[in-house]
């Protein structure tokens, strides 16, 4: 009998397994892959302010740093926000987190596929007939989570396509908003990896959308890798049933406004570990995870409301907004910087309407949190 069985050894699962092991619990970490983190399905950027949630120092998984996020509009107007962004090597990062979990005492079982989960009894059946029993089950098995299905939850998924291509040294990551592309509000991105001389160039959408973006913006470089995946849109309708909880992508805990999932992975892993620890120590009669997770900013529906508000803007409105913001550089996500940003936003007639209030509310919440993801 294990204290906890964690299904999925990505950033969320390995972090939850490590935290629970450090709390003194017997943990089994299961993953169907032979090598975690491969193939990569990530733009690989993480704001430095978010890394401490993983409780790990910077290591050889960093492939570059840039000091700015630049938001680009269809008319090529743009503004910048200062904030150090770490570019990761996701396979190395995932493997680093797995080693930390194993070093903390978690038992690791790779190339083991979970076929059935009973969230009420804590029984898992693996391919081949092996049965595992645990006091708690942590679903960290990605957007198409089997654990999520076992508790009656299903994520709404968006496709994403990406290439890694040669790129000169740069000082920013780029989020490009363009409604002419058949994609989502933050249509496309360019994340330079300066130590490699490459960049991840991608979009919400399929390969034709990515090709249209590369062609329209005349992006040139040699493609060295192609990858893609699916990104959950919105928190799952339920995050817990019985002894099973969902964290990270498995629970739809990504930012639907930006697509970022690494910080929510670590944040939800921490909250789940704390709730399970209290349950295992007899301090609570049930695992009190979902109510706590729902109160956390990473699970706020404000992100989705802001995304929908941005999606309602036409390219003409976006261009006018871009013109109002063009050339501004904000000194980070600070309340002292936000009034200027709010003032410029209010000058845009498409924003100065009650239905676009979520965009301004989200900005203020990010400033209060001191980070974006």
Does pLDDT of 237 surpass 90? Answer: yes
Domains of the chain: 1-44+89-156+233-299 (3.50.50.60), 302-369 (no CATH)
Q: Pinpoint the alpha helices (H) of the chain.
A: 11-22, 90-103, 146-150, 207-216, 262-280, 290-295, 302-311, 315-325, 338-346, 357-369
**pLDDT category, 343, cuts 50, 70, 90?**
low
Instruction: Tell me the per-residue pLDDT of 285-334, one tens digit each, with 9 for 90 and over.
Output: 999 999 999 999 999 999 988 888 888 888 888 888 888 788 888 777 66
Higher per-residue pLDDT: 354 or 297: 297
Nearest of 262, 164, 261 to residue 221 by alpha carbon: 164
CA 202/CA 198 separation, integer angstroms:
13
The length of the chain in residues reads: 373
Q: Judge residue 69's burial from the number of C-beta atoms within 10 Å of its C-beta, 0-12 exposed, 13-18 middle, 19 or more buried.
A: buried
Task: Output phi, psi for 92, to 5 deg.
Answer: -65, -40
d(C-alpha 314, C-alpha 184), whole Å: 12
How far is Cα 262 from Cα 50, in angstroms, rounded to an integer? Answer: 8
Q: Is 344 left (phi over 0), alpha (psi -120 to 50) or beta?
A: alpha
Place of tokens 């009998």: 1
Segment 238-249 mean pLDDT: 97
d(CA 298, CA 148): 19
pLDDT value at 353 more than 80: no
CA distance 294 to 237: 11
Q: How far is CA 356 from CA 260, 290, 319, in A?
A: 22, 29, 16
138-190 confidence digits (pLDDT tens): 999 999 999 999 999 999 998 999 999 999 999 999 999 998 887 665 689 99
Please tell me the pTM assigned to this model.
0.92
- How do residues 96-109 score in pLDDT, each as one tens digit? 999 999 999 999 99
| Confidence category of residue 342, pLDDT binned at 50, 70, 90 | low
């Amino acid at each position: 009998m294990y204290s906890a069985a964690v299904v999925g050894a990505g950033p969320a699962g390995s972090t939850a397994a490590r935290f629970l092991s450090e709390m003194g619990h017997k943990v089994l970490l299961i993953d169907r892959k032979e090598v975690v983190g491969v193939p990569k399905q990530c733009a690989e950027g993480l704001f430095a302010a978010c890394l401490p949630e993983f409780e790990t120092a910077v290591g050889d998984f960093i492939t570059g740093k840039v000091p700015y996020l630049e938001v680009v509009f269809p008319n090529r107007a743009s503004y910048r926000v200062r904030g150090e962004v770490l570019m990761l090597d996701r396979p190395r990062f995932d493997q680093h987190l797995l080693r930390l979990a194993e070093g903390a005492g978690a038992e690791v079982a790779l190339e083991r596929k979970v076929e059935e989960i009973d969230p009420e009894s804590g029984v898992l059946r693996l391919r081949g007939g092996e049965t595992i029993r645990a006091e708690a089950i942590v679903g960290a098995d990605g957007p198409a989570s089997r654990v999520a299905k076992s508790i009656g939850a299903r994520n709404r998924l968006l496709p994403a396509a990406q290439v890694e291509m040669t790129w000169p040294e740069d000082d920013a990551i780029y989020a490009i908003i363009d409604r002419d592309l058949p994609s989502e509000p933050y249509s496309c991105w360019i994340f330079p990896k300066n130590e490699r001389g490459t960049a991840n160039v991608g979009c919400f959408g399929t390969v034709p959308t990515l090709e249209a973006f590369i062609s329209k913006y005349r992006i040139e470089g040699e493609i060295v890798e192609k990858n893609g995946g699916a990104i959950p849109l919105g928190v799952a309708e339920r995050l817990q049933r019985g002894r099973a909880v969902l964290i990270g992508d498995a629970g739809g805990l990504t930012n639907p406004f930006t697509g970022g999932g690494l910080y929510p992975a670590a944040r939800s892993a921490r909250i789940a570990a704390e709730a399970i620890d209290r349950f295992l120590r007899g301090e609570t009669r049930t695992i009190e995870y979902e109510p706590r997770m729902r109160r956390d900013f990473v699970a706020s529906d404000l992100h989705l409301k802001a995304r929908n508000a941005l999606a309602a803007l036409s390219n003409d409105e976006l261009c006018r907004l871009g013109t109002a913001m063009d050339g501004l550089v904000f000194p980070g996500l600070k309340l002292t910087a936000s009034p200027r940003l709010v003032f410029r936003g209010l000058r845009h007639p498409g924003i100065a309407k009650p239905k676009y209030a979520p965009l301004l509310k989200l900005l203020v919440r990010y400033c209060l949190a001191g980070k974006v993801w």
